[in-house]
Structure 1
Amino acid sequence: MSYTEIQPAAAAAPPPAGLRAGALGFPALLAQSVALISPTMTAALIIPLAFASAGSGTWMAYLFGTGMLLFVAFNLNQFARRSTSPGSMYAYVGRGLGPVSGVLSGWTLLWCYLFIGIAGMTGFTIFGRELLSLMGIHTAIPSVVFFVVLGAIAWALAVKDVRLSSMLTLALEGISVLCILALAVVVVFAHGIHVDTAQLSLHGTSARGMSLAVVACIFSLVGFESATALGGEARNPLRNIPRAVVWSLVIAGLFFVVMSYVEVYGTRNSSATLDTLAMPLNTLADLESVGYFKFPIDLGATISFFALSLSCLNAGARLIYPMARHSLFPAPLGKAHAANATPAPALTAYIVLMVAVPAISSSQTDVLTIFNDAGTLAAFGFLLAYFMIAVAAPMYLRKLGDLTRRATLISALAFVFLLVPTIGSFYPLPPWPINLFPYLFLTYLLLGAAWLYLSTRRHPGILTQIETDLESPA
């Protein structure tokens, strides 16, 4: 794909150095999506939220949520099998619905990856403190220190080498998941193999409770699409990116089904119910008298949350990069590091935001509240981006003359399924201040629309140039 830098002057500046094409194979692309989904985050903090609504049916809610999002993934792969570029979802929506929608989708995903990255930073802080406590270190370290340390290390890795940072996220998340699965084996086999018939029969689960739980389950799975952001650096992208999108969703979904079953089973006879546990994995370790599991689990969770923030940094910067080269952001953000072939200026700008927002917020509230609020705010953006992909896919296929009844049905089902978490986000009305979050996101969208309008006034041919670049073969 051509990314011609738009210049108001007649003479165009020399094009900036590009990203390293063909640097990332399937494992690295899978690592990006898996790390952004962050299986550890769900097992450690989110499954209790789903249990509060679904109870014994939590595992089924995760299975249903995974199936629902697979239809979104199938729509996404209509684009991924045919074209690729840096920041691909921005390009995908632009190809299907036009440059204005493409820009707004890119603007939306910048919001998503920022707040999921912030959730990673706060999770890193929560489990980092718990880890230090287990080591006998009880010094009250300010939250901002954790944010700055994580941000500095993540930035250095992301600027140095995209292959290193991507594979490191897979290794870190893999270590964490193995620790959690080891605990799950202990829980299941500690008292002999027993089938939890209450869970299999969905005992006490209502249709309304399941629908509310699916909202939490779907929000656990967002991020599977982030491999598309590395399209400009992928090896054999038309094959490997679609595989990474689907397999990351399937692997994470099955892990959540297993862990929700184990956590419900393991805490059934506990004095405290699962939905009241702040750290359910540590509680399981105590219940099974394997307290020594807490250290590796907390260590795994800490490094997993680091990997989450690193993957968000990589994804967000690779959206800023092509948008800057289309004159939607300052031109320096569309340049790449001459030696490392990474979008260093975009990485720098994004990590500054990712550190500054929680650092400022932590002076007013605790990190667990910031974690919960960041995840909720990101969810609104992901829903809009997924809706746009579901609508853009058949439009794109129709332009190519490839639209089929099957593709239309997949698009329609994805749209209908996405209505479930959308309605669940507004009804019943959430408490204050969460009920204000949709309006905060709407304000952000309006600011993006205003910025796009001003950009078109400064560069009158910008939309035509974007459309030309997006329609160019990759």
Structure 2
Amino acid sequence: MSISSSEPSSAAAQVRSGVLGFPTLVAQSIALISPTMTAVLIVPLTFSYAGNGTWLSYLFATLMLGFVVMNLKVFSSRSASAGSMYAYIGRGLGAKSGVLAGWTLLWAYGFIAIAGLTGFSIFVNQFLDAIGVDLNVPAIVCFAVSALLCWFVAYKDIRVSSLLMLVLEGLSMFLIVALCVTMVVRHGSIVDTPQLRLEGVSGHGLMLAVVTCIFSLVGFESATALGGEAKNPLVNIPRAVRWSLIITGTFFILVSYVEVMGARDHGLSLADLSAPLDSLADAYGVGYLKAPICLGAILSFFSLTLSCVNAGARILMPMARHGMFSGHVGKVHVHNRTPHIAVTAYAAIIFAVVAVLLIFNDPLTIFGDAGTLAAFGFLLVYFMVSVAAPAYLRARGELRPKNIAICVAAVVCLLVPTIGSFYPVPPAPVRYFPYVFAAYIVVGLVWMGLVSLRNRHVLSEIEADLERSVDIGHTADIEVAADTSDAPQASSTSMKGGQV
């Protein structure tokens, strides 16, 4: 990506290209989805709505988001760059929409990172309790430790970050699967008739559960933010996005099925369990798994925050280089080849916000509220990219009826969680969250307007830069575009009408 003409040429230093293969890319998306988070905290909420249909809710949610993945593939198989979702929507709907998408993703990744910090704090104390240590670590201390470690790893090397996420989330998922296998063996069969027959399941309850399930799965797109560092990005990024959804969706279906079966076998009310896996480990006589599972959750929540810092910084970097923020934020560390200033700024903002929230609420409440607030951002971006895909194909002369059908299917599916966020009306303060998010969007639009007044050519420059930055067949990545960033602008600057 080029930078604004007022910025020093040193700011055009680029992230390290071609260093992230498929395993590390899929680890980025899976870490941001955080399967552990759902298994240890969210399944009881889903069960409270869907009961024996909990597993089916996760199946529906996975299939529904599959249409969004198809729309993402339109872009990810043709172009790759740092902060790609920002670039994708910009190429399909114009620079204003791209900037709005980037602004929205900063919100979404930021609040998911806050959920990661609070989850880290919750399970640090649960782990200490599991090993018999009578000590309560203050939440602010846990936040500071996790945020500082995330900053350091993200600052140093994206390869270390990605490998760490792969190992940590993999370990946590392995421990949860081990407990689930134990429960199935003790049960004597994988068959659970009440669940397979959907006994007591209502259509309305199933719809409400699907809303929760979709929110559990958001984040699968985050591998696209690493487009500038991916190896063979036009192949590996679409695969990573697709497989992260498949892997986590399958994991949620199986884990929720086993948790419901296990709780009923021992007369437990799953909807009332704040730590379902701990309770089930005790019920099945494998209490020794509690400490490892809590440790795995700690590592998973750390990995979640780290993935958000990585993704958010790579949205900040191109936006800064395009003049939407200070050009310093767009700089890349000479030796580490990471967007170090963006990483530092984003991590500091996340910590500051969660520290303020802690004044008013406990970590568990903040966790739930942060996840809800983040969901609004993801929904808006998924709507935008689904509409941007056919617009982009139309501009290229490649639009087909199936592309329109996929767009319509994605929009219809996304309306389910959108409507479910408003009806039935949730209790306070959650009922006011959509308006808080709307206010944030208004601030972003006002900021965009002020930047445009200061530099009347900024939006056309963004369109021109996105248009020539990276395209199909140009797998040499973002550095090629940066090397030519001082060249004259292409004569066609309309992202919507010109051939890309």
TM-score by length of 2: 0.93
2:2 is matched with 4
SS of the aligned residue for 1:249 comes to helix
In the alignment, does 2:449 pair up with 1:449? no
In structure 2, how many angstroms separate the alpha carbons of the residues matched to 1:195 and 1:26? 35
Equivalent residue in structure 1 for 2:61, among 54, 62, 65: 65
Identify the match of residue 27 of structure 2 among 28, 31, 44.
31
Q: Give the letter for the 2:215 counterpart.
A: F
Give the corresponding residue for 2:140.
144
In 2: Cα distance, 1:17 partner to 1:92 partner: 22
Distance (whole Å) between structure 1 residues aligned to residue 11 and residue 254 of structure 2: 49
| 2:79–2:234 Cα contact (<8 Å) kept | yes
Are positions 1:44 and 2:40 aligned together? Answer: yes
Match for residue 400 of structure 2?
404
1:233 equivalenced with 2:232 (yes/no): no
Q: What is the CA–CA distance in structure 1 between the aligned matches of 2:457 and 2:187, rounded to whole Å?
A: 69
Query: Structure 2: how far apart are the matches of 1:40 and 1:442?
Result: 30
Alpha-carbon spacing, 1:12–1:179, altered in 2? closer, same or farther (3 Å):
closer
Segment drifting more, 262-271 vs 169-178: 262-271
Aligned to 2:93: 97
Q: Which residue of 2 aligns with 1:371?
A: 367
1:292 and 1:162 mapped to 2: Cα distance?
Answer: 35
Q: Does 1:421 align with 2:417?
A: yes
1:333-344 alignment runs, 5 A limit: 333-344=329-340
Alignment match, 1:130: 126
What is the letter of the counterpart of residue 348 of structure 1?
T
Q: CA deviation at 1:109?
A: 0.5
- Letter of the 1:314 counterpart: N
Match of 1:254 in 2: 250
CA distance in 2, matches of 1:175, 1:449: 42
Does residue 329 of the first structure (1) align with residue 322 of the second (2)?
no
Residue 246 of structure 2: SS of its match in structure 1?
Answer: helix
Matches within 5 A, 1:162-201: 162-193=158-189, 195-201=191-197
Structure 1 counterpart of 2:406, which letter? Answer: I
CA distance in 2, matches of 1:368, 1:113: 18
TM superposition outliers: structure 1 runs of 4+ over 6 Å: none
The alpha carbon displacement at 1:14 in A equals: 4.2
- The separation in 2 between residues aligned to 1:198 and 1:134, in whole angstroms, is 32
Report if aligned partners of 1:143, 1:359 keep a CA contact under 8 Å in 2. Answer: no
Shift of 1:194: 5.1
What is residue 22 of structure 1 aligned with on the other side? Answer: 18
Asked whether the 8 Å contact 2:91–2:98 carries over to 1, the reply is: yes
Q: Which of the numbers 67, 81, 84 marks the counterpart of 2:80?
A: 84
Matches within 5 A, 1:273-352: 273-352=269-348
Structure 2 distance, partners of 1:310, 1:419, is: 30
**Following TM superposition, by how much is the alpha carbon of 1:272 offset from its aligned partner in structure 2, in angstroms?**
3.5
CA contact (8 A) 2:108 2:374 kept: yes
Structure 2's unaligned 5+ residue stretches are 471-500
SS at match of 1:411: helix
- SS of the aligned residue for 1:472 comes to helix
Q: 2:208 — aligned with what?
A: 212
Structure 1: 5+ residue stretches without partners: none
Aligned length: 470
The CA deviation at 1:139 is 2.4
Q: Which residue of 2 aligns with 1:110?
A: 106
Deviation track 1:45-74 (CA, whole Å, cap 9, x = no partner) reads: 011111111000000010010000010001
Instruction: State the shift of 1:5 in Å.
Output: 1.5
Deviations 1:248-275 (A, max 9, x none): 0000000000001000000014443111
Q: Matched residues in 2 for 1:163 and 1:364: separation?
A: 37
Q: CA deviation at 1:361?
A: 1.3
The equivalent residue for 2:479 is none
Any idea what SS the aligned residue of 1:124 has?
helix
Q: Distance in 2 between matches of 1:445 and 1:473?
A: 27
Structure 2 CA distance for partners of 1:275 and 1:456, relative to 1, 3 Å: same
Identity %: 56
Instruction: Report the Cα offset of residue 360 of structure 1.
Output: 1.6
| Structure 1 residue aligned with 2:488 | none
Q: 1:334 and 1:51, CA in 2 relative to 1: closer, same or farther beyond 3 A?
A: same
CA distance in 1, matches of 2:104, 2:187: 48
Alpha carbons of structure 1 residues 341 and 14: separation in structure 2 relative to 1, 3 Å: closer
Structure 1 length-normalised TM: 0.98
What amino acid sits opposite 1:212 in the alignment?
L
Q: Identify the residue that residue 265 of structure 1 maps to in structure 2.
A: 261
Aligned equivalent of 1:244, options 220, 240, 246: 240
